[in-house]
Amino acid sequence: MPTLLWWMRVIVASIRVELARGFHAQLIGGALVSPLASAIYILMARHLGRTEATSYVVLAPMLFGMWGTAIVASGEAISSERGEGTLELLIAAPAPAALVAVGRIIAMTAESLVAVPLTLIVAALLGMPLEIREPGLFALGIFALVLSTAAIGMLFASLFVLARSTRLFQNVIGWPLWILSGVAFPLAVLPEAMRPLAAFVALSWGAAVLRGAAAGAGASWGIGLAAVLVLSVAYATLGARLFIGIERRVRVDGSLSTF
C-alpha cells in the first residue's frame, strides 16, 4: 500500500473510531453555545439599531464555535488517549500517531458543524436572518475552515502531548485568537501594531470569505480561500514537525504516560 494511501486510511480509521465513540458532551455544549451567543449579539445589535452588522453577529459565534472545537478536540484527542492508556500504544505503532490525532480532530470538527444551521435558524427566528447570496462560496468557505480547524488542532495537539493538564491551555488559548481573527469586528479597529498578526490567522481570512459570500462575494474571495488553505498547510506542517520533535522528547524523559 503506498504511504500516502496508508496515511489516508489511518485518518479515515481514526475518524470512524471517533464517530463510533459517540458525541462528546463538550462538543454538544459548544454547538449549543454558538446559537445562544449569536442570540445575545443579535438582540444587542437590534437594541442598538445596528441591523447592518448581521454578518458579524451571526458569523462570529458560529466561527468561534468551530475553532473552539478545534482547541477542545485537540486537547481531548491527546488527554483521552493518555487517560485510556492508548497513547503509548499509538506511539509504538508504525503509523505516525499525529495522523490519529488529525482524524479525531476532523471527526470532532465535523460534529461541531451542527452549530452552523442552528445559528442560522436562531438568527432567522430573531429577525436578523443571514442572507447568503452565494451559497456555493459560503459552503466552500466552511469547508476550507474545517480544514484549517483540523490543521490548527493538529498544532495544538502537539503541544498538548507535552502538557500534563490541558484544561488551562484549552481555556486560555482561544481568546487571543478571537481577537486576531476579526470575526466579531473589522480588523481595522485593532491597534495598528496587531493587524499584521491577523494575517497569520486562517480564521480571519475565512471569516472574510464567508462575509463576502453572504454579501455577494467581491473579487478577493479567491485570495481569501487561498490564504486559508496555505495557512492550513503551514499549521499542519508545523504541527507534524512539532509532533515528531515532541514525541522524541517524551521518549527521552519518559513522560508519555504521565498525567
Partner 1 sequence: MPSTAIHTAARAVACHGAPWRGARSAVHYGPRLMSAISIRDLRRTYRSSSGFFSTRRVEREALRGVSLEVKRGELFGLLGPNGAGKTTLVKILATVLLPTAGTVEVFGSDVVRSTTEVRKRIGLVFGGERGLYGSISARDTLRFWSALYRLPSDAGRKRTDELLELVGLRDRADERVWTYSRGMKQRLHLARGLIARPELLLLDEPTIGLDPVAARELRQIVARLRDEDVTVFLTTHYMAEAESLCDRVAFINEGLIPLVDRPRVLTRLASEIRYLEAELPAASADALAVRLRAAPGVRDVRLSPAVEGFAPIAVDADATAYDAALQVLAEGGGQRVNTREPTLEDVYVRLLGERGMRV
Site residues, partner 1 (CB under 8 A)? 1, 6, 9-10, 12-14, 16-17, 20-22, 84-86, 88-95, 100, 248, 251-254, 256
Nearest Cα residue to 73 out of 102, 95, 98: 102
Q: How is residue 152 written as a grid cell?
A: 490548527
User: Minimum distance between the CB of residue 9 and partner 1, rounded to whole angstroms?
Assistant: 5
Q: CA–CA separation, 250 vs 91, rounded Å?
A: 11
Q: CA–CA separation, 81 vs 99, rounded Å?
A: 13
User: Minimum distance between the CB of residue 104 and partner 1, rounded to whole angstroms?
Assistant: 11
Q: At what angle do helices 54-84 and 115-125 cross, to 10 degrees?
A: 150
Q: CA–CA separation, 18 vs 15, rounded Å?
A: 5
User: Minimum distance between the CB of residue 77 and partner 1, rounded to whole angstroms?
Assistant: 12
Nearer to partner 1, 94 or 196 (CB): 94
The residue written with cell numbers 482524524 in the block is: 103
Nearer to partner 1, 241 or 251 (CB): 251
User: Minimum distance between the CB of residue 4 and partner 1, rounded to whole angstroms?
Assistant: 12
Nearer to partner 1, 1 or 219 (CB): 1
User: Minimum distance between the CB of residue 219 and partner 1, rounded to whole angstroms?
Assistant: 43
Nearer to partner 1, 167 or 251 (CB): 251
Nearer to partner 1, 24 or 211 (CB): 24
Q: Taking the CA atoms of the chain, what radius of gyration do you get in angstroms?
A: 19
Q: Cα angle vertex 59, ends 168, 125, to 5°?
A: 115
- Which regions of 133-216 does DSSP assign to beta strands (E)? none
